[in-house]
Amino acid sequence: MTVALSARKISEQIKARFPEAIAEVTDQPPVLRGESLFAVAEYLKSSPELAFDYLNYITAVDYFDYFELVYQLTSLTHNHTVTFKTRCYDRGKPTVPSVVRLWRGADFQEREVYDLMGINFEGHPNLKRIVLWDGFNGHPLRKDYLTQQ
């Protein structure tokens, strides 16, 4: 049975190592600061007792005031899983570091989030639209994208 690691314990573990990465420790999945995202992700992947080598998914949700990116990782060796998030408050040009260098699976998924939500991933080698065509205007999954004008 895949053990979902306690959000509070993993938040405390991350905060002990990266004090500025998490604002407050709660029972909800940790919300990381954008600048610390890559360092924390690298720690989660390379630390031997965590060993999160498998990226389940990356997705984004539009909460009007901010965009929230959700990541879920699984360790195939220890069979445990963790979810963490990060938020972008800039609606004009939301930017988040890319984790493609850690997990290749982030390649298409980050392109999809860019395409449909308009979030930029710094360090992504090929950030182009993926499911919509190149000349498309707008980012349809955003809540302010009107489907009927």
Partner 1 sequence: MTLKTEPFVLNIGPVHPSTHGVFRMRATLDGEVIIDLEPVFGYLHRGIEKLAEERTFTGFIPLTDRLDYMASMSNNLGYVLAVEKLAGIKVPERAEYMRVILAEFQRIASHLVAVGAFFNDCGAFFTPFIYMFREREKIYDLFEMLSGQRVLYNYMRVGGFNQDMPDEFLPAARTLVNQIRHRLDEYDTLLLENEIAIARSKGVGILPKELAISVGASGPVLRASGVKWDLRKADPYSIYDRFEFDVPTGTAGDCYDRWRVRVAEMRQSVRILDQALKQVPGGPVKTYVPQFFHPPVGEAYAHIEAPKGELGFYLVSDGSIAPYRCHIRAPSFINLTALKEMVVGWKMQDLIIIFGSIDITMGEVDR
- Contact by Cβ (8 Å): 78, 51: yes
DSSP string, 99-115: -TTT-TTHHHHHHHHHH
**For residues 98-137, which are near partner 1 according to CB under 8 A?**
103-105, 107-109, 112, 116, 129-133
Number of Cβ atoms within 10 Å of the Cβ of 95: 12
Which positions from 64 to 103 touch partner 1 by CB under 8 A, shown as an x/- string?
------x-x---x--x---x-------------------x
Which positions from 7 to 46 touch partner 1 by CB under 8 A, shown as an x/- string?
----------------------------------------
- Contact by Cβ (8 Å): 109, 102: no
Output the smallest distance, CB 131 to partner 1, in A: 4
Closest among 30, 42, 104 to 68, alpha carbons compared: 30
Nearer to partner 1, 18 or 108 (CB): 108
CA distance 139 to 67: 13
Residue with tokens 């980012």: 139
Output the smallest distance, CB 44 to partner 1, in A: 14
CA distance 146 to 144: 6
Output the smallest distance, CB 105 to partner 1, in A: 3
- Total of residues contacting partner 1 (CB under 8 A): 31
Which amino acid, one-letter code, is at 5?
A: L
* Contact positions vs partner 1 (CB under 8 A): 1-2, 53-57, 59, 61-62, 70, 72, 76, 79, 83, 103-105, 107-109, 112, 116, 129-133, 140-141, 147
